[in-house]
Amino acid sequence: MSVVLVDAGGTNIGSVRYALQRLGVDASLTSDAAAIRSADKVILPGVGAAGPGMARLQELGLVELMRSLTQPVLGVCLGMQLLCERSEEGDTACLGLIPATVQRFIEQPGLRVPHMGWNRLQPRGVHSLLDGVSDGDWAYFVHSYAVPVGDYALATTDYGGEFASVIARGNFHGMQFHPERSAKVGARLLKNFLEL
């Protein structure tokens, strides 16, 4: 099985790659369109802001390619947000694969932004990406913007209100948290993705 990590400038690429190695998969880091197109699985990692993330994909000529992929694709953290239509962060047009606008958390008393640390997942139904994941399992988050809940939400998390923490639409999937930092639950989710 060939797995590629899209080199979109995310700073979490090394830790995602190491998490995949622990599962027996040596994923290559690439911005080569042919390599991405021919891979069995594609992962779009990302840490940072929506504007620079999309600018990097445009610079590399990968925007239309990403939209056209038919194999399983996983966006992680910012990579998940880039799958959406827009982000309020810099009013950025994203890939448009998930019908949602990414929104900044509203600051509230006792609620710090960014949302940083462990929080619980609430699965919203049955999907093979969530095999073995239970209601209340913990995952590790670091983000200031979130995807609102819609019919694409496979799991939600509460932080001053519900947001989508695992999404899927067709062959495109996303995890807002960092599976590579989310212990057994993160490893299970990555394994499930590899088995899609």
CB atoms within 10 A of CB 68: 8
Task: Label residues 116-135 b or e (16+ Cβ within 10 Å = b).
Answer: eeebebbbbeebebbeebee
In terms of phi and psi (left: phi > 0; alpha: psi -120 to 50; beta: otherwise), the region of 139 is beta
Phi, psi of 5 (to 5 degrees): -105, 120
In this prediction, residue 14 carries a pLDDT of: 82
pLDDT reported for residue 124: 97
Check which CATH number belongs to the domain holding 170 and give it. 3.40.50.880
Mean pLDDT value across the chain = 95
DSSP-derived 3-state class of residue 151: coil
Q: What is the pLDDT of residue 9?
A: 72
Q: pTM of the prediction? A: 0.96
Q: CA dist 6 to 33, 124, 166, 179, Å?
A: 9, 29, 19, 16
**pLDDT > 90? residue 46:** no
Strands (E), the chain: 3-6, 28-30, 41-44, 73-76, 84-87, 92-93, 98-104, 115-120, 122-123, 138-143, 145-146, 153-158, 162-169, 172-175
User: What is the extent of the structural domain holding 83?
Assistant: 3-194
Sign of the CA dihedral running 119, 166, 86, 33: positive
Question: How many structural domains comprise the chain?
Answer: 1
pLDDT given at position 137: 98
* Whether pLDDT at 56 is above 70: yes
pLDDT at 158 over 90: yes
Q: Which residue numbers are catalytic?
A: 77, 178, 180
Tens digits of residue pLDDT in 91-122: 999 999 999 999 999 989 989 999 999 999 99
